[in-house]
């Protein structure tokens, strides 16, 4: 069995704790590797080395740092197949989906190639009599990223690329369920010219997370995961005086208006609801048709499409629509939530609980499920299922549909399908959700914008990647300067206004 490592000071380093956790192949249910769980001593030494390496890296001019990103981007492209295979092997995604995972991370790296233009400060001459003012952006120091299992390439790249381009050193703690992609990306970044120690990949569990949150050298923490953990990390980091941006769970709705193209809406729901086995924080898990006729038409369109979905391992070819969920516990939780929906009165139109794949009976596969007549008081509506389950909540009019979203605890993403521009514009302006799609099911912004939800989907003021990332990973220093042109007599003892 393969024994994985940490990545410290430019090298793969074996763990010393003697503690390991299993890394599964979700398609077979077999343990394929074990990953070491670091001690606090290992973590603190890695942080200490990162702090030492960061000084010279921050003093490297932004253009040279950007050149490392350029080389890193080229290496990611060169190793796309290998990286996608690592993602699929540990997460279970299909190869096309895994390549998308890598690609969306690469796009953030590409924006970071233009870091010098995003790190420029401000200048004003003669802000007062003979006084000039200027503001500069400077690196924070050592920062940390704590990333989830569902995007083993994309989210680590969302964290590491802007942080490092800004001149910081980063401690990356990837999910212990899918660590290999982060380890390989760290190798490629070193090959691209990143000095040793600027990126340290430390595998661990809650002990390491708490160690990161309590370490005085760490200046900022970025996290993606469930809402309870996001809230915990945000609170503890803030208490310890750190910057924190913590992104949590979601319950994303898509409104389908009576004038929508029903075929396009159904196709969108299939991709957004069942892609990656529903293990996306931007997955559409709630369809909200407006009017009974719209709902009936939508269900009629969805059923044959869902029945044609092909579920299987990534090794079965590119025509597989989605693979297994991440663990046996995840599969069990999804099935329990489906059962609760039946018990609470929802109509289970398609039942995926008994799905079994010949030759992969021990894999963590869930068949696609579709509910109709779901109500907001049901567990399947209130809980983030994080599986291949689509719930349909029928509404009588647009205002009722909008209110359903507005009163939901989560505010990550949402969408509306309509042919009416006035309705679409009203929806975009009024809905209290961070990312909105108009005839677009998964509105993840392109990498030169920023990603972030509202309400209990996000904790912290700034979003991920794009311009917000460069604000998050730097601090502003403002200098007020005056140069005397000659000898001035006397001293002013009062606090003078700059008039």
Angle at 143 between CA 139 and CA 145, to 5 degrees: 135
The span from the CA of 471 to the CA of 162, in Å, is 10
8 Å CB contact between 363 and 29: yes
Q: Is the pLDDT of residue 492 over 90?
A: no
What's the count of helices (H) and strands (E) in the chain, helices before strands?
16, 23
Q: Is the pLDDT of residue 498 over 60?
A: no
| Segment 426-442 mean pLDDT | 97
Q: Which two tokens stand for residue 488?
A: 């001035």
Q: Is the pLDDT of residue 419 over 80?
A: yes
**pLDDT confidence of residue 187:** 98
The span from the CA of 359 to the CA of 407, in Å, is 45
- pLDDT tens across 106-156, in order? 999 999 999 999 999 999 998 888 899 999 999 999 999 999 999 999 999
**pLDDT confidence of residue 129:** 86
- pLDDT tens across 12-40, in order? 999 999 999 999 999 999 999 999 999 99
**pLDDT confidence of residue 149:** 97
Percent of the chain with pLDDT over 70: 97
Known catalytic residues?
Answer: 281
| Segment 308-335 mean pLDDT | 96
Write the DSSP string, 210-276.
Answer: HHHHH-TTEEEEEEES-HHHHHHHHHHHHHTT-EEEEE----EEEEE-TTS-HHHHHHHHHHHHHGG
- pLDDT tens across 385-395, in order? 999 999 999 99
Q: How far is CA 233 from CA 110, 127, 225, 419, in A?
A: 29, 41, 10, 42
8 Å CB contact between 338 and 330: no
Q: Is the pLDDT of residue 202 over 90?
A: yes
Domains of the chain: 2-248+457-479 (3.40.605.10), 252-438 (3.40.309.10)
The answer, as to whether pTM is greater than 0.75, is: yes
- pLDDT tens across 33-64, in order? 999 999 999 999 999 999 999 999 999 999 99
- pLDDT tens across 266-305, in order? 999 999 999 999 999 999 999 999 999 999 999 999 999 9
């Amino acid at each position: 069995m393969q024994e994985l490592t940490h990545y410290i000071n430019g090298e793969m380093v074996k763990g010393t704790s003697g503690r390991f956790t299993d890394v599964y192949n979700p398609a077979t249910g077999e343990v394929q590797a074990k990953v070491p769980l670091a001690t606090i001593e290992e973590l603190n030494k890695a942080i200490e080395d990162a702090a030492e390496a960061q000084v010279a890296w921050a003093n490297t001019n932004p253009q040279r740092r950007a050149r490392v990103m350029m080389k890193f981007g080229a290496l990611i492209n060169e190793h796309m197949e290998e990286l996608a295979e690592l993602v699929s092997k540990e997460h279970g995604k299909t190869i096309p989906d895994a390549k998308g995972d890598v690609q969306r991370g690469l796009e953030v790296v590409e924006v970071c190639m233009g870091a010098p233009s995003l790190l420029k400060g401000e200048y004003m001459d003669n802000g007062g009599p003979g006084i000039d003012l200027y503001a500069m952006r400077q690196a924070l120091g050592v920062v940390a990223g704590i990333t989830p299992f569902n995007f083993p390439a994309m989210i680590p790249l969302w964290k590491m690329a802007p942080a490092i381009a800004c001149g910081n050193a980063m401690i990356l703690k990837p999910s212990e369920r899918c660590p290999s992609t982060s380890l390989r990306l760290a190798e490629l970044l070193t090959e691209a010219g990143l000095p040793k120690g600027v990126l340290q990949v430390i595998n661990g569990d809650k002990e390491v997370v708490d160690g990161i949150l309590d370490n005085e050298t760490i200046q900022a923490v970025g996290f993606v995961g469930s809402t309870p953990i996001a809230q915990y990390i945000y609170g503890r980091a803030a208490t310890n005086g750190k910057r924190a941006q913590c992104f949590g769970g979601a319950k994303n709705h898509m409104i389908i208006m009576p004038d929508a193209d029903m075929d396009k809406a159904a196709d969108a729901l299939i991709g957004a609801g069942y892609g990656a086995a529903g293990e996306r924080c931007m997955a559409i898990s709630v369809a909200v048709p407006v009017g009974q006729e719209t709902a009936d038409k939508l269900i009629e369109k969805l059923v044959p499409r869902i029945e044609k979905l092909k579920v299987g391992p990534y090794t079965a070819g590119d025509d597989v629509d989605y693979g297994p969920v991440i663990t046996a516990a995840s599969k069990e939780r999804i099935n329990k939530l489906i059962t609760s929906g039946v018990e609470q009165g929802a109509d289970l139109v398609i039942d995926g609980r008994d799905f079994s794949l010949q030759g992969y009976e021990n894999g963590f596969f869930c068949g696609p499920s579709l509910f109709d007549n779901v109500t907001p008081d049901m567990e399947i509506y209130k809980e983030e299922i994080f599986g291949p389950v689509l719930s349909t909540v029928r509404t009588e009019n647009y205002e009722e549909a909008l209110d359903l979203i507005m009163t939901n605890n989560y505010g990550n993403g949402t969408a509306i399908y309509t042919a009416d521009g006035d309705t679409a514009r009203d929806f975009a302006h009024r809905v209290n959700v961070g990312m909105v799609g108009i005839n677009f099911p998964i509105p993840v912004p392109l990498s030169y914008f920023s990603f972030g939800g509202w309400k209990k989907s996000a904790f912290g003021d700034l979003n991920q990647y794009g311009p917000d990332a460069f604000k998050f990973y730097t601090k502003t220093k403002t200098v007020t300067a005056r140069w005397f042109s000659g000898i001035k007599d006397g001293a002013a003892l009062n606090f003078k206004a700059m008039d």
